[in-house]
Amino acid sequence: MVEMRVAGIALDAASRSPIVLLRDPSGRRQVPIWIDQAQAQNIMAGLSETPPPRPLSHDLMAALMSAGGLSLERVIITTIEDATFRAVLKLSGTDGETHELDARPSDAIALALRTGSGIWMLEEVVASASIPVDAEADAEDAADFRRFLERISPAELVRQIGKAQAEVEQQAPSDSEPDGEADTDTDTDTDSHEDDTPG
């Protein structure tokens, strides 16, 4: 297994969807996981040194675990199934018992950031889903996403999501196109745009 760290949040150049970037210890490989705006904000809140004025969902989860005598040892991103990443939470109780819970990687990452727990990924997942690191482009993408979040209102966010969905639907080839003229590069598989999907 490889212990990963959150390198930041970037924006997909085509869809403007947020991506959480996990980087390996060498700094040479990173794994992008597509998430939605709410999940991106939860992860960014976990990265922030300033706690929110009121607990967010993942802050509450961490508090409930502590109150129940559970600690998060680590999260492990175990596989990619049907174009979606899978993760588990490794928990231990004060009685010495261990527990393993299925989780979305975005939730697991947000919780790990709040509890100081390690984020691990199986080597085969890193090998199959990683991309080369371009630190300069990463910093630019992260800055773009921060500016995007700072200036957008909730109403505008809903409008942007609707616009992106409409554009994807318009790009889908119609049944009336003659054979050989459909745009075979268009990705109409909605799974590729859902939470926790690889690029």
With a CB cutoff of 8 Å and minimum separation 6, the contacts of 45 are 52, 56, 58, 110
Model pLDDT for residues 2-55, shown as the tens digit of each residue = 999 999 999 888 888 899 999 999 888 999 999 988 999 899 999 987 878 888
Query: The pTM is what?
Result: 0.66
Which CATH superfamily is 2-169 part of?
Bifunctional nuclease domain (3.10.690.10)
Do the strands 70-81 and 118-121 form a parallel or antiparallel pair, or are they unpaired?
parallel
Model pLDDT for residues 131-166, shown as the tens digit of each residue = 877 655 556 666 777 777 777 777 777 777 777 767
Q: How confident is the model at residue 177 (pLDDT cuts 50, 70, 90)?
A: very low
- Residue 107 CA to residue 126 CA, distance in Å, equals 19
Model pLDDT for residues 44-102, shown as the tens digit of each residue = 999 987 878 888 889 999 999 999 999 999 999 999 888 789 999 999 998 888 999 99
